[in-house]
Each structure stands twice: as structure tokens, then as C-alpha cells.
Amino acid sequence: IAHDFNNLLVAMMSQNSLALRLMGEEHRAAKHVEKALRASARAADLTRQMLAFAGKNKYVMTPVSLNMLLVDNLEFLRASIPKNVELRPQMMETLPLIMGDEGQLQQVVMNLIINGADAIGQVPGQVVVTTSVCDVEEGKWGDGWLRANLELQGGRYAVVEVADTGVGMSAETLARIFDPFFTTKEKGRGLGLAAVSGIVRAHQGDLWVRSVLGQGTTFQLLLPILQEGGEVVDVEPPTAVSSTTASTNHQHPSRVLIIDDEEPVLEAVTDILALSGVEALTAVSGQQGIDLYKQHSKDIAVILLDLSMPEMTGEETFYLLRQINPNVPVILSSGYDEKEAKKRIADAGQADFLAKPYDVDILSAKLRGYVAG
């Protein structure tokens, strides 16, 4: 479903941003197009949350100090909750590092703290944030805790505990808090804790919760500590044009081959390229894309390839294109994160990546290194 949403959002965001650029900000319809773009951006954020729930969001993993993450964001966190709620940090002095995406983990902690403050309401209360370390024995979990990750491995974990003095939850509510779209808030979208649990599972961690109606709720975020000497993976994205693919010929190819099974995506990208004077060749299937490349290979500067296609998949298409020309520049496009998209393709390190959804500016910046326009 998220893949289908992303394809629709590519068309919506691209066509709306293209329309805004053509009409100019002074046009009386411009403010309405801007509102449509903002709505599309909110829809894109919801799609990212759904991918986070599935554990397939984009992650940049680096060594992270959870203590520093809290210290660096403490004032911002205090400003995000009502003044009647006291935020009390209690941090372990020598907390080990963990391996994680700092931005995603910041969102997790913020979500838990804001939820705790919301549960307190208008009365005075506290949200206490504690960091510690615990040893989890395989198959032996704390009594009375609901767990988000039933496949958690035994080992040593860094813990961030968020405890509030709010209204607490009934057993029935507690049993459903990790369900997508479930919410107890009148204006909530209900994907918050589902997305949080997806992010935590993607970090090989867990989220434990227990609650007593009328007394409050406690969450424990468990993340595996980074072992001394552990390998740090370099996840920097590839450059736009590698030395092996840069053309040395004075007659540079100028066309872009777009292979995507969604017509609205093909139309949107074609319209964007036309604005820059770049000609597009479009294919609605992998086989059609291969046929077009064979016919026009000398004219094609880069191929924009959707990974999620029926019949001949994006992976199969990629391999066949590389058999024809091992150095053909390819931009893989997917609604999933770059690591998830590339891990299915052995030599995808030589390919570029473009995350869906994207708009005019994002696409133009990505293609700038390949075609002149």
C-alpha cells in the first residue's frame, strides 16, 4: 500500500510544484497550489510512518550516545510539553553507546515524552526520563510488561525509560497501543506508537510498556549496546556520476530513460524534464525499457528505474541493463530506504538512488549530474 501511495504522491507533488513554478507566486491560484503541496507533504510523512511501522524506513546508522541525545534536545523537549508538566531527566553517568539513526531515535524519545505529557492533561504532573543498562536473558522477560518486539535477542541493552504520572491505561487499551491507526486522542492519527515500534524493531531493539489506570504509564526503550571494536558501516550515498560512468565523449547523451509501471509517474517526470529542455523516453515495463535502451543507448544519459514493478522486476531489469552495458548510469527509485532497496542487488553500489516521493526540486537536483538542462 505504501508503494502505491508513494507513486501517487510522486505525481501529485511533481505536478503541483511544476504548476507553481510555471504560474509564479503572484498568480491568484498559487496559494491554493501551495496548500495542495503542503497536504501532499503531510501524506508523504504518513507514508514514511507506515514504512517505519514495517521497519523499512531510511536509516543512517552511526554510534549514538543516548545521554547526549537527551541533553542536546532537553530544552526543545521541555518547550514541547505544557508548563504544568515537569520533565525530570535522571541519566546514568557512563551509559554505553548504541548503533542507531540519531534523528529517528530522537523522534522516538520525543513521541514517548509528548504522549506522557498528554496523558497528564491539565493537572500538575511529571515525566521522568531515566537512562540505564540492563541484561536481557533469552526467553525471560519482566512480568507485567507488554512488548513490541517478540523476537528480541538476549544480551546487554541501553535503556531509556519514560514514566509519567498521567491517567494510565486500561488492559484493553494497553493491548492495542501498537496497532496501526489505533488512538485514544480525538485529533490523533493513531500511527504514532505503531511507527515508534517499527523504528525500534529496525534497530534490533524493543519497546516495553506497563500501565496502571489512574496511576500512570511507563515505557522502556531497549537498544543493543555497541560492542567495543564493533564495525561501523559507512553508509554515505554514492556520488552522482562515478569515474567509470562519466562520459569523456564531446557528444554527451542527453535523454533520460524512465522505467516505471505507473503512468502518472512517467507523465510527471516527463513534464519536469521538458521544463529543462531534456527529452524523456518512457517505458511501462522492464522489458519495454530494455528494448528502448537497445534502440537508443547512445542517446541515453541515465536511466531512472523503479524497483517495484510486476512481471519483470526492477532488480531483473537492472541486471539485464548491466549485461548490455556494465557502465550505464542507473538511478534506482523506491519508496523504501536506500539500504533496503539496494541489499537485493549485488552490484547496486555502482547505482545512484532516489527516494519516493519526490518533487521538481529533488528530481532536478538528482539529474543535474547526468544531463544538462
Encode pLDDT of 251-285 as tens digits. Answer: 567 899 999 998 888 988 998 888 888 899 999 99
Cα angle: 287, vertex 288, 289; to 5 degrees:
90
pLDDT of residue 296: 94
State residue 66's pLDDT score.
Answer: 95
**Is the CATH number 1.10.238.10 carried by domain 62-224?**
no
* This model's pTM is above 0.75: no
192: Cβ–Cβ under 8 A, 6 or more apart, which residues?
49, 111, 115, 183
Q: At what angle do helices 102-120 and 192-202 cross, to 10 degrees?
A: 150
164, 127 Cβ separation under 8 angstroms: yes
Counting residues of the chain whose pLDDT is more than 70, the rounded percentage is: 77
User: Would you report the helix, strand and coil content of the chain in percent, each value rounded to 5?
Assistant: 40, 20, 40
Evaluate if residue 366 carries a pLDDT over 60.
Answer: yes
Q: How confident is the model at residue 297 (pLDDT cuts 50, 70, 90)?
A: very high
Taking the CA atoms of residue 110, residue 112, residue 118 and residue 123 in that order, the dihedral angle to the nearest 10 degrees is -100
Q: b or e along 174-208 (b: 16 or more beta carbons within 10 Å of the residue's beta carbon)?
A: beebbebebbeeeeeeebbbbbbbbbbbbbbbbbb
Question: Which of 3.50.50.60, 3.40.50.2300, 3.90.1150.10, 3.30.420.40 would CATH assign to domain 255-367?
Answer: 3.40.50.2300
The reported pLDDT for the residue numbered 182 is 61
| pLDDT tens-place string over residues 35-86 | 877 777 767 666 666 665 555 555 667 899 999 999 988 888 888 889 999 9
Tell me, what amino acid is at 164? D
Contact assessment for residue 13 and residue 357, using Cβ atoms and an 8 Å cutoff:
yes
